[in-house]
Amino acid sequence: MRFYLALAAAAPRERAPIPRHVTAAARILADLALPVPEASLRHRAWTSPDGTAALLCWTNEPEHPDLPEPLTDLAGAARAATPGGTGGVLGHTGYLADPGDLEALRTTTGIGPLLDRTGGAFGVFRALPHGFDAVTSISRTDPVYHGEGGGLHVAANRALLAHLVLRAAENGEGAPLPPAPVYDVPPMQALVRHGFYITDDTPFAGIRALGERAALEVRDGKAQVISRDLPTPEPARPGRRRRARTVDELADALVAAVEPVRRHPEGVSLSLTGGRDSRVIAAALHAAGIGFRATTRGVDDHPDVVLARRICAALGVGDHRVLRPRIPPEQAADPAFVLAEHPRPRTLRLLRMTEGMNSAFEDVIAPHAFVPEARLSGSGGEALRGGWLKDQADLSHPALIDRLRTITLAQSPMMTPEAEADGEALFESFRTAYADDPALALDHLYLRYRTGRWLTGSRTATLCGYRYYHPFLDHRVLGAVHRLSPRWRWSEELVLRLLERLAPPLARMPVADHPWRFDHRRVLNPLHRRARRRRPVLRAASTVGGFDWRRRPGPDYVAPMRERILDTPELFRLVDRAATERILTQDPTPRPGQVWNLYTIALLLSGEWLASRGAAPDEGRIGVPIR
C-alpha cells in the first residue's frame, strides 16, 4: 500500500518554509503510525522550491513494472496545472482501471471533475509549488484525513500520521517524539452505537475525514474543500425498455471494472460465498472471459461452501479452495466449545490497522508482507440493494423516518444525556436534509458512512497485503448505481437481472440465508411461481456451521473485556455506568456489539496499541460454548 502525507505552510506570504524539524519528525512518526513492518517501507518525498509545500510517501510495495511509482513527476505538465510555476508530483492510493489515466491526472487543472470519468478505486494526492490537492472518489474508501495547526495544513491517508505531525509542529523543535495523541472522545458516541463513525470525525482531535467526491485544495496558505454532489437518482423503477438498457450499461461497467485483473498472468483469486455480491463479481469475470480461482471459508455443509461449489461448477472454475476453520487439538476433545483468540491481541491488531475507527468485533487481517498477488471480493455490493434500505421491510415515509432514528440513536438506553443529545442532533440534521425522501437518506448515509467509514478499515488491510481489487467500489460503477432509484434497487431485481445478463446459470441457483426480496411479492403468473420455486434459500444445516462466537461470547470471554471497560473512566462520558455494568454481567450479554465497541475504545484510549509495533502478544485462547 502507498501512504501519503501532504504538507503546506498556512502563511506562505511570510515565505516561511515548512520547518525542517516537522518533515524530520514525519519520517520518524511514520514508523509508528503506518500499519506495516518498518523494514518493508520505501520512502519518497518532494518539496517545493521555496519549501512551503511537500508530499511525502511511504510504500511497502516492491518495485515492479506493473505497480505505479509512489510519486510521479509533473514536469512537462501543462503550466496551468501548476499555478505559479511548473513542477510538482502526484501519487494515488488504490488502483486506476486504466493506468493510462495517470497521464490525464498529471496534466489536468481540475482533478475532481476528471476523476468522475476515471475507473478504479483510488484517492489522489498532488503537490504543487504553492500548495497541494487531496481528492476522494465516490466511495472514499481510499480516505483523506486533514487538519490545520502549528502553522501548517496537512492531509494524509492515515489519520494518526496527520495528527501526530500536527502535534509535532505545535510542540516545536526539540520536543520529545512521539507526541502523545489527543483523543476526541465525545464523537466516539457513534463508535459505541455502531462500531464505526456516522460523521466525519476521527478519534484524533483536529483531524477530520474528507467527504466523498471532494477535493481539498490548498493554495498560498488557504484551504478550501470543493465538493461535488452525489448523482441524482431516477425517481422510481424505470420502464421495461429503460430497465433493460440500465442493466446493460451497469453490466458493461462491471465488466470494465474487473478488466484490470487481466493484467495478472499468474491469475486472480476471488473470495466467493453463497451470497449475491461475490456471485455478481464471478459473473462479471465470466462475462469478461477472465479465468479465476475461488476461495471460500467455512465448513462443508455451510451454504457459502455448498453454493460456491455450484457456482464454480457452472462457470467451469476448476480451482476452488475451501478454507475450513482451524480446530486446535485441545478443542477437538470438546466440540461443544470454540476456542477463540483472547480479545486483547485481537483488538490491538485491529487498532493498529484501522486507527480505532472500527470495532474489534470485525475480522480484519494484518498482513506481515506485501504479496503482488491479485485478489477480488464482493465488498461494497450492498449499494446494488439500496444501502441501508436492504433489510427494510416497510418503505412508507414514517417507517423510513423511524429507521433513520434507529440508526442515529441506536442503543439509546445505555447512552449518557450528552451522547444522546449528540445523536439527536445528528438525527435532526439528516431528517431535515432528506425531509422529502428518507429512502434517499438511507441510501446516501450507507454510502457515506457504512461504505466510506466502516469499509475503509478492511480495504486498508487488504491493500497492505495484496493487489486487491474491489469492483463494487469502482468510481464509475458506484456513480452509475447511485443514478438508479434506491427503491428499485431495494427490490433486488437489479441484482438478478445483472446475473441473467452476465452469467444466466447463476441467476437460477439458490441463494444463502434469505430469499430474493422480490420473491416476497404475491405472484400470479405460473411461470414466475415456478421460477421462484427454483430459487430456494439455503441455511446452515448444523450449529457449528452457523455459530458466530463473536455474537455469543460466553462469560469467560467477556470477563477480561468487562474489567478493562469498567477501568476506563473516559467511557462513562459516553455510556451510563450502571447500564453498562448490567450488560456486562448478564449471560448471554444482550448487547455483544456494544461490549466489543466499548472494549475497543478502552484499548484505543489506553495507548497500548501504539506500543504494539510487532506481532500482538499471544495471550492464549478462551473457550466459548456453542449455544
pLDDT for residue 107: 80
pLDDT at residue number 324: 80
Tell me the helix, strand and coil percentages in the chain, rounded to 5: 45, 20, 35
Q: What angle do CA 536, 538, 543 make, to 5 degrees?
A: 155
Confidence category of residue 117, pLDDT binned at 50, 70, 90 = confident
Query: For the domain with range 2-227, which CATH number is right: 3.60.20.10, 3.40.50.2300, 3.40.190.10, 3.30.470.20?
Result: 3.60.20.10
Asked if 19 contacts 46 with a C-beta cutoff of 8 angstroms, the reply is no
What is the mean pLDDT of the segment spanning 234-260? 93
pLDDT band at 300 (very low <50, low <70, confident <90, very high): confident
Mean pLDDT of 450-466: 96
| Residues 254 and 498: beta-carbon distance below 8 Å | yes
* pLDDT tens by residue, 146-170: 999 999 999 999 999 999 999 999 9
Question: 61-75, 373-387, 540-554: lowest mean pLDDT where?
Answer: 540-554
**How far from 162 is each of 22, 144, 477, CA to CA, in Å?**
11, 10, 30
Task: Give residue 115's pLDDT.
Answer: 83
Does residue 333 register a pLDDT over 70?
A: no
Confidence of residue 79 (pLDDT cuts 50, 70, 90): very low
Start-end of H helices in 269-302: 277-288
pLDDT at 116 exceeding the cut of 70: yes
Cα distance between residue 541 and residue 450, in whole Å:
30
Mean pLDDT, rounded, of the chain: 91
Mean pLDDT score, 176-202: 97
3-state secondary structure of 429: helix
pLDDT tier, 533 (very low <50, low <70, confident <90, very high otherwise): low
525-550 burial code (b ≥16 CB/10 A, e <16): eeeeeeebeeeeebebeeebbbbebb
3-state SS assignment for residue 42: strand
Q: Report the distance separating Cα 166 and Cα 202, nearest Å.
A: 15
The alpha-helical segments, DSSP class H, found in 108-175 are: 111-115, 159-171
pLDDT at 521 over 80: no
Which residue ranges make up each domain of the chain?
Answer: 2-227, 240-333+368-385+455-545, 391-440
The torsion defined by the Cα of 135, 137, 143 and 144, in degrees rounded to 10, comes to 20
More confident residue, 148 or 526: 148
User: Residue 298 has what pLDDT?
Assistant: 86
**pLDDT at residue 574 greater than cutoff 70:** yes
Predicted confidence (pLDDT) per residue in 251-285, tens digit: 999 999 999 999 998 889 999 998 999 999 999 99
- Among residues 20, 100, 492, 471, the alpha carbon closest in space to that of 278 is found at 471
Distance between first and last Cα of the chain: 40
Superfamily of domain 240-333+368-385+455-545: HUPs (3.40.50.620)
d(C-alpha 609, C-alpha 356), whole Å: 9
| 402-427 pLDDT, tens digit each | 999 999 999 999 999 999 999 999 99
pLDDT for residue 14: 66
The DSSP secondary structure of 389-417, one letter per residue, reads GTT-S--SHHHHHHHHHHHHTTTGGGB-H
Percent of the chain with pLDDT over 90: 77
pLDDT score recorded for residue 80: 37
pLDDT exceeds cutoff 90 at 144: yes
What pLDDT, on a 0 to 100 scale, did the predictor assign at position 103?
A: 86
Mean pLDDT value of segment 336-340: 85
- 588: preceding bond cis by omega (within 30 degrees): yes
- In this predicted structure, the answer to whether residue 78 has a pLDDT above a threshold of 50 is no
Phi, psi (rounded to 5 degrees) for 45: -155, 150
Whether the per-residue pLDDT at 81 is higher than 50: the answer is no
Which range has the worst mean pLDDT, 23-37, 392-406, 511-525?
511-525
- What are the grid coordinates assigned to 159, written together? 489519520
Across 188-202, 208-222, 289-303, least confident range: 289-303
Amino acid 235: pLDDT = 86
pLDDT, position 238: 86
Read off the pTM. Answer: 0.94
User: For the chain, what is the radius of gyration of the CA atoms?
Assistant: 25
Q: Residue 168's closest CA among 57, 6, 26?
A: 26
DSSP per-residue string spanning 320-379: EEEEPPP--HHHHT-TTEEEEE-HHHHHHHHHHHHTTSS-TTS-----SS-EEEEEE--T
CB atoms closer than 10 angstroms to residue 82: 22
Is 623's pLDDT higher than 60?
yes
- Going by pLDDT thresholds of 50, 70 and 90, the confidence category of residue 334 is low
> What's the average model confidence in pLDDT over 460-482?
96
Position 611 scores a pLDDT of 85
pLDDT at 612: 66
How confident is the model over 38-74, as pLDDT tens digits? 999 999 999 999 999 999 999 999 998 889 999 999 8
Asked if residues 96 and 120 have their Cβ atoms less than 8 Å apart, the reply is yes
Least-confidence region, from 126-135, 359-368, 486-495, 508-517:
508-517
For residues 462-479, give the mean pLDDT. 96
Say which residues have a Cβ less than 8 Å from residue 245's Cβ, sequence separation at least 6.
none
Residue 568 confidence (pLDDT) above 60: yes
Q: How far is CA 3 from the centre of its chain?
A: 16
Neighbour tally for 569: CB within 10 Å: 9
Which runs of consecutive H residues, i.e. helices, occur in 49-144? Answer: 101-107, 111-115
